[in-house]
Structure 1
Amino acid sequence: MTIESKSKDFSKQNRIKIHQPDVSKADRFNPRNRIYVRAVDGLWSSLRRRMGWVAMLFFLILPWIPWGDRQAVWFNLAEQKFHVFGLTIWPQDLTLLAALFMIAAFGLFFVTTYLGRVWCGYTCPQTVWTFIFIWFEEKLEGARNKRIKLDQMPWSFNKVWRKTAKHGAWILVSLLTAMTFVSYFVPTREVYIDVFTLNADGSIYFWVIFFTIATYGNAGWMREIMCIHMCPYARFQAAMFDKNTYIVGYDTKRGETRGPRSRKADPKALGLGDCIDCDLCVQVCPTGIDIRNGLQYECINCGACIDACDTTMERMGYDKGLINYTTENKLEGINEKVLRPKLVGYGVVLTVMVLVFIYASATIAPVRMDVIRDRNALYRENNRGEIENTFTIKILNKTEAKHQYKLSVDGLNNAKWIGPDSISLEGGEVLTLPISVAVDPVELKRTITNINIVVEATIDGKQVITTQETRFFGEM
């Protein structure tokens, strides 16, 4: 048989292999079918690992950073205050928190439209913790093939101690994760000291145990199930993708027809493409897909298959990039368009929202005041013949220091302030103060007069004036 006939026969077999599903991978979405992720080294894997460790360390260290007499980041639910370094967000300022979530959403839309699911592959907590757990798995149970053999072996001392060490490491990481997460809501030192001295509140133990179990289950057992079956992002990402979005793509024109061959063989003479069908791209994929089947919603753009394929191409003496970050247009030989209406739109909205958020954060009023009229009587005439209106004033000191406040009324000539006109509030204190405003009927030009209740204070060397408009009722 000639080389040409052999290559034609091999090509025919290879085409059959491509179009017929592989039975061993047909049910990869079954949660019972475990995916053994193979370790891989390369540019993108190294970048992902470094970003993962940085994200993990940032998460662990942030609650320990001091800021004055408290920790820098503290979501104090008991007192309804969110501290983020020098910024304190009160319930009255929760529109800022909503704006922050909207910025995060549009940021995700912008990045996804341009770079695909890089959030999933590099910075998503599920991915970061999963790869950390896989790292412990590799160190304690060995490489992919050894782990498969270990699971198939009967129970022995070697298997018991390796499994015990692995799950012990997972539980420790999960416990540390849970305690760190709780430390964002309860002072860090209290969490660690009280939990280990058995003096913590029951609710703290509940949440520590809850998040420990959740982390252990998600990163240790569920892994790709979270990405494939539970994460909504994979489902609606198609609405943001277009043919110019960067994805992990397989160059079919260059790679097909795929098939094994020796390093010295000429693939063109055999009628083969550059793909040697080693399946390494499948073995390193954390969601167990074959990127050669085209764009799939399960792909998290982690780039592991790119590194595996580049390593194979380098060994075979072929050009790298058979699998690469690319676009559908580029794969089809069409020029890419970086600037397109959808991407520009997301970018403009994101920029505007960030600027508005920065301005709103920088101009948060240090004093909050609400004025409530007495609903039982619009007005009354006092024993001096004056028209008197009663109000309830609520004043909140939104700073963390004690300040003196001066109260007055503006908008009425010769008005009299009946009640305390100077008060002192501790940091975070709320004062409810009933007061009355009285005026000679001669001064009233109309039945209803718009007036302003004014609060003045000197905070950090600056005079702060807060006003609240209300109405003063006279004789009907």
Structure 2
Amino acid sequence: MSERIPVKDVTPVKVHQPDGSDQSIRYSSSNRIYVRSVSGPLESFRRYFGFIFLGLFAVLPWLSYNGQQAVLFDLNEQRFNLFALTLWPQDLTLLAYIFIVAAFALFFVTTFAGRVWCGFMCPQTTWTYIFVWIEQKTEGSRHQRMALDQRSLDADKFFRKALKHVAWVVVALLTALTFVGYFTPISALFVNFFTFSSGFWTTTWVIFFAACTYGNAGWMREIMCTHICPYARFQSVMFDKDTLTVAYDVNRGERRGPRPRKIPHSELADKGLGDCIDCNLCVQVCPTGIDIRNGLQYECINCGACIDACNGVMEKMNYPKGLIRFSSEAQMQGGETKILRPKLIGYAFVMVVMLGILIANFLLRSALEVDIIRDRNSLYRETNDGLIENVYTLKILNKSQQRQQYEIAVDGLPDYRFIGEQTVTVNGGEIFSIPVSIATDAYNLTDPVTEIHFHVSTQTADGELISVREPTNFLYR
């Protein structure tokens, strides 16, 4: 029993420990974060990328297709219009496949490049930056906003604060109206809302989403990312040592500290200094208020603001850029980043398979659906002519957006008599119900239950033949 089990010290050690001064309190996540504006390639890319998606969000509900709103998720009519495509509750599996593909695409991107979704595409991030931009235009730069909040209320402070909140409310209201416009005709929505003639539920939803936008982007901001959004909590499951994240090069940056600009970069090592001048700009520009020099943290949204800020400082100091950069744990430890790895390949494989299934379902999807409902009052009845008659109700769903004429026929029953309309016209997106009766002589029936088929067919304007063959039973005895 003289052998001892070796014990490894795994106590986490941070690169930079706060000194307990006012600076650490100022940058604490429990206090308000005053985000400093930053410029650089990543910031420009994020803005343009956000403008594209913001423009799509604002424009799509205003587009028209075939005389109707091109994108409309009509919950009352239980149909979704996506330009030439109309989806019904029967197409719910398509929606499930879309969500599965989107989920695995998110997993794939996260495994490869970390939380770039949060930093560049998330609506919370996009609207937060819009609200911060409004705050900067009305209240000034970071230091001006901090000084303004410390001042007692006067006319200038009241005017700036009021102007900011009015602008926030306007943006939040337009956002809510646009979002609700995806679920109800948007042109009528704007007119009815501003003329106080919209319905109760429509008004309620607009006010609800406006309040959510105002609260999330104006007040909660980083709290949504750090405490409420579940993605920040389970993202670490998808990370590995080859995942690209925003990282601080410890070996190059330490020992940090201020120094005059005249010291050449080649002499820093002789003086025991690293490249980091401890300017704290990387902290000031971070929308979640973290210090990336403390290592990877779940609050980091990979927006790259600290990279642009640090590169700007390095350029002014005539130091090489990249002290903070997108890199992997393996690369930071002196190795190489492996792009192709089992986890990434697995996510890509599942995403491609599900995308193939989704495309196949779209291509095989029929623009016609038929349901047959038997008369529940009686199994069959005998007519005055001595024929056996069964009564059905045909529900014809025209999934296209054009008016179609359908022909109805029956097979599987000899010498039958069709009672009802055999040619019907159904408008686009309409469910048409038609009662029909099928009668035949009892001598033609050898079994109590005979399987028959209703044929419903049409020919589109493009010459395409669409036909549905739906089985049902003809009962006797």
| TM-score of the superposed pair, with normalisation by structure 2 | 0.91
The change in CA–CA distance for 1:16 and 1:89 in structure 2 (over 3 A counts) is closer
What does 1:251-266 correspond to in 2, within 5 Å? Answer: 251-265=249-263, 266=267
Taking the TM superposition and a 5 Å limit, the aligned residue runs for 1:283-432 are 283-432=284-433
Deviates more, 1:394-403 or 1:96-105: 394-403
1:468 aligns with 2:466: no
1:63 corresponds to which residue?
A: 61
AA at the equivalent of 2:391? T
One-letter amino acid matched to 1:50? Y
- The one-letter code of the counterpart of 2:37 is A
Distance 1:378 1:329 in 2: 73
Corresponding residue for residue 81 of structure 2: 83
Mapped partners of 1:78, 1:427: distance in 2? 16
RMSD: 2.1
Deviation at 1:163, TM superposition (A): 1.2
Cα 1:16–1:448 change in 2 (3 A) is: closer
Q: Match for 2:107: what amino acid?
A: F
Residue-by-residue CA offset, 1:88-139 (whole Å, 9 max, x unaligned): 1112212222221222111111111111110100010000010111111111
Q: Report SS of the residue matched to 2:214.
A: helix
> Structure 2: how far apart are the matches of 1:29 and 1:309?
21
Alpha carbons of structure 1 residues 456 and 157: separation in structure 2 relative to 1, 3 Å: same
Tell me the equivalent position of 2:6.
none
Aligned AA for 1:191?
Answer: L
| Identity percentage of aligned residues | 51
**Alpha-carbon displacement from aligned partner over 1:43-64 (angstroms, at most 9, x marks no partner):** 1111111112222222111111
Amino acid in structure 1 at the alignment position of 2:215: G
| Cα distance, 1:378–1:202 mapped onto 2, change above 3 Å | closer
Distance in 1 between residues matched to 2:322 and 2:149, nearest whole Å: 35
Unaligned runs of 5+ in 1: 1-14
Pairing 1:47-446 to 2, within 5 Å after superposition: 47-265=45-263, 266-446=267-447
- Assess, with a 3 A threshold, how the Cα gap between structure 1 residues 286 and 345 changes in structure 2: closer, same or farther: same
Shift of 1:447: 4.2
What residue is the counterpart of 2:453 in the other structure? 452
For residue 342 of structure 1, what is the amino acid of its counterpart? K
Alignment partner of 2:165: what SS?
helix
State how far apart, in whole Å, the 2-side matches of 1:116 and 1:192 are: 39
Is the 8 Å Cα contact of residues 84 and 401 (structure 2) preserved in structure 1? no
Q: How many residues align?
A: 459
Tell whether the 8 Å contact from 2:15 to 2:295 is kept in structure 1 after alignment: no
CA distance in 1 between counterparts of 2:345 and 2:450 reads: 49
Deviation at 1:443, TM superposition (A): 3.5
**1:323 counterpart letter in structure 2:** I
Q: Which amino acid aligns with 1:248?
A: V
What do the CA deviations read for 1:316-369 (whole angstroms, capped 9, x no partner)? 111111110111111111222111122112112212222332332244322211
Alpha-carbon distance in 1 for matches of 2:91, 2:14: 63
CA-CA distance at 1:23 after TM superposition: 5.6
1:65 alignment partner AA: L
| CA shift in 2, pair 1:341/1:413, >3 Å | farther
**1:86, 1:95 → 2: CA distance?**
19
Match of 2:28 in 1: 28
Unmatched 5+ residue regions in structure 2? Answer: 1-12
